[in-house]
Amino acid sequence: MAAKEDLYAKVTPRRQRQNRPSTVKHGSTLDVLLSMGFPKTRALKALVSTGGKNVQAACDWLFSHVDDPFLDDPLPREYVLYLRPSGPLLQQLSHFWQQSRLSCGKNKAHNIFPHITLCQFFMCADGKVEALCDALQSTVAKWKGRIPMPLPLELYTSSTFIGLFVEEQVAEVLKSFAADFATEAAAKADVHVEPHRKQLHVTLAYHFQTSHLPVLEKLAKNVDVSSGCDWLSVLFSRDIRFANHETLQVMYPYVPQNDDELELVTGDFIFMSPVEQSTASEGWVYGTSLGTGLSGLLPENYVNRADESDTWVVHGSHSILNCASPSNSGSTVGGLLFDGQLNDSLLDSLVDSPSLTGLCPPIQVSRPASQSSLSKMRLFVCRHGERMDVVFGKHWVTQCFDSKGRYIRSNLNMPPSLPARSGGHRDYDKDCPITVFGSTQARLVGEALLDSHTKIDFVYCSPSLRCVQTAQHILQGLQQEGKTKIRVEPGLFEWTKWVSGTCLPTWIPPADLATANLSVDTTYRPHIPISKLTVSESYDTYISRSFQVTREILAENKNLGNTVLIVAHASSLEACTRQIQGLSPQNSKDFVQVVRKIPYLGFCACEEMGETGVWQLVDPPILPLTHGPNHSFNWREMLMQD
């Protein structure tokens, strides 16, 4: 069996679409399940995975997941509070969804129904879900009649984003409502909820082709924002183990022909992770069934692309207009009641992005006087290449320098020469170079960028020699060596807690790097000088430093060029991109787990969302680079036999 973290992506609770109460009240239901002999952890998991519907639904879930490898896994679900429109306004928005999809194809906004984000995603233990739902019900009752209706919405468009923004004064009222829910949730369910602090809005379209803007903008202007609407505060949950998976829907039944194949039932959903597809041959995919939690191979032409939203569970839906749960006269979708009918295309769109902090990105709009004519800015963040001390051990300096400090190459993967250091060769102990293969890795990345017709306008890198050398070889591959100078920025150095000893490395000054024929900008003045770095800084300090320097780098190059490349450390891919997306930092434990999985020359890309000032991760313009280590080879030891 694979490691636990790998298996987390192999199961998710089943979604129910029948009628159910608006809040989870499963005390008596839990007792019934326990009396039937189900363990408490399994019974609770079944209840929250079906929205606390009833005993039958929970039993069905348990029986269908009897072979689920994560049936007893204690990992809790993830929750979020949204404000959803209903009635005439929903019909208007539904029409916009249909027409925009027919006219321009699917964009990111089609992955989720219209909503206003009230809080960020948060975790809640299965045994606390009932109390969490009570917290929402109490908050809604407290706010009865206090939220102005109808909500004043204003259309905003840019080259990559279209949305309806809540007028500021009313938005503050909604934020107070969310803050009260956070307080209630902490008191009743012992969970931490972070209210949404950015500008409140309904996303209509984003991540669409520039050529589609006129059509989408025209359709958006036809939405009558003054239409009648009852807004519903809705509590959703999802299984975070599938956050980075693609969702597929089964169109035809399939009976397995081999042991490694998955049985398909029409209407079921399949979760597919791109990293797991190496085991699948052409025309097949490897995925996990929503209905059973089992994984296996399946024919690709038996499934269609779907939306992650079909795996979400509703735990509470309350009108903020009359503060009563909707009556049974409305339509019912996944346990959530609506006034009027909900279009099928919306029913199949409940998720916007696999990020842990929310499907509708927290957008902070900066409204310019005029639209910029420049192309959108891009940020690339790349880890350095293979490092000497990892390949040849931490004592490589002792082995490669003689008593006079002269460098002696003893392996083809060692560089032919090394830059001189004013402090002597012992400074290489904490500031190692990259290997020959590390240089090759970097040039491959540069050549791939060149083939993709990507031009780098500005290059920033950590002061570590391995990062400067990597940036140099990327520029060589791009055929921009000498044309684009490397700006050495100490603020991009990795978390100093990871530096051994009681002092920071002694880095080669930019002037000496230039003397060593590295294309370094000797006139550049860093945003965070070396003197501001401290040994063993806290995690919060490192994250804040990375965010600050990234934000300042982007700001200083605004309107001067479209593409910025940062070459730094494995941790930089997360630390330099997460907060510019408007997301909160991860805790240090989760952060370390992400960093451990980033290989040499790991590469990610971000784009600015039009004029919003918020960025989002996008597909890089190049393919990933996969490689692995090999053992040292000594022909005498291995081939000469006694």
**β-pair type (378-383, 331-333):** unpaired
Place of tokens 């000088």: 529
Query: How many C-beta neighbours within 10 Å does residue 190 have?
Result: 12
Is 15 a known active-site residue?
no
CA gap 96, 224 in Å, rounded? 11
Are residues 162 and 217 in contact, defined by beta-carbon separation less than 8 angstroms? yes
Asked if residue 150 has a cis previous peptide bond (ω within 30° of 0), the answer is yes
User: 252-255 contacts: CB < 8 A, separation 24 or more?
Assistant: 252/302, 254/298, 254/299, 254/302
- Maximum alpha-carbon separation in the chain: 92
Residue pair 224/150 in contact by the 8 Å Cβ criterion = no
> In the numeric block, which tokens belong to residue 553?
């780098």
Task: Based on the residue annotation, tell me whether 384 is a catalytic residue of this protein.
Answer: yes
Closest CA to 13 of 248, 273, 293, 267: 293
Buried (b) or exposed (e) across 476-502, using 16+ Cβ within 10 A? bbbebbeebbbbbbbbbbbbbeebeee
Among residues 14, 384, 387, 578, which one is catalytic?
A: 384
| Residue 270 identity (one-letter amino acid) | I
CA distance 496 to 490: 11
585: left (phi over 0), alpha (psi -120 to 50) or beta: beta
User: Residue 358 has which token pair?
Assistant: 């929310």
**CA–CA separation, 151 vs 330, rounded Å?**
22
Query: Which residue blocks in 493-578 are alpha helix, DSSP H?
Result: 510-515, 539-556, 572-575
Provide the β-strand partners of residue 235.
Answer: 81, 316
Q: At what angle do helices 55-64 and 27-35 cross, to 10 degrees?
A: 50
Catalytic-role residue among 473, 545, 569, 578: 569
Token pair belonging to 68: 């689920």
With b for 16 or more beta-carbon neighbours within 10 A and e for fewer, the 310-319 pattern comes to bbbbbbbbbb
Catalytic residue, chosen from 77, 383, 527, 545, is: 383
**Helices (DSSP H) in 190-230: which residue ranges?**
213-221
578 among known catalytic residues: no
List helix spans (H) across 343-493: 344-347, 388-392, 396-400, 436-451, 465-478
AA identity, residue 251: M
Question: Among all residues, which ones are annotated catalytic?
Answer: 383-384, 569
